[in-house]
Amino acid sequence: MSKAKKQTAIPAGIPAPTRRIVEKRLITPIGWNPRTIDIHSPKYLELLSSIREVGVLQPMWVRPDQLRPGAFQVIAGERRYAALMDSPWPTGPVDDFGAIDDRQAYALTCIENAHRDDLTPLEQGKQVHHALEIYENDAGAVAALFGVSEKWVHLRARLTNLSPLWRETLADPKHEVYGLGIGHLELIARFAHDIQNDILSNHPYVLDGSV
């Protein structure tokens, strides 16, 4: 059985949530979570087994869906949402933060991710990409949000230029490129996609740190 998480401090300016029990058909993910849910991982399978047995114990964080009256968007807790959708339970608990704006909602998403395992480089790039969209490309504001330097933000933002082939390959833990660091990937992301793919397929020497 999964354990409830410790209570997390809510940032100033965000109203206290209201606890609700909501039909799962009225819940959809907001799409900001940078983490890829590995439905075959031991951690997810353990969570899924627990939720199938007893339901969701730790409420998902949500806000009202402006396009669907009476429905909600999950801003934190997408793994629990996915497991709930794959369970026989028709409802789940949520903490409803009301009509908060995108920046407030994204701050809550970041808080949730801070309690998880480290993000992969691609997930960091995705996280920064979403943040820059929400903060209108203000790298200083994004850096302040994450507590990092603007250089950190710019390096990870460049990873969104990696080709689809590179992104797919980096998601495979059995491939030799899986462990490449941010600096190496950022250099590769500077090239056009056809050159990136050529490097991946025909020039394996770049993978051993020799460039």
Phi, psi of 27 (to 5 degrees): -115, 135
Summarised one tens digit per residue, pLDDT across range 73-103 is 999 888 899 999 999 999 999 999 999 988 8
The reported pLDDT for the residue numbered 4 is 44
Summarised one tens digit per residue, pLDDT across range 110-139 is 776 655 556 778 888 888 888 898 888 899
Model pTM?
A: 0.68
**Could you give the percent of the chain with pLDDT greater than 70?**
86
Across the chain, where does the E strand assignment appear?
18-23, 27-29, 60-64, 72-76, 91-96
- Find the Cα–Cα–Cα–Cα dihedral 152, 157, 161, 167, rounded to 10°: 80
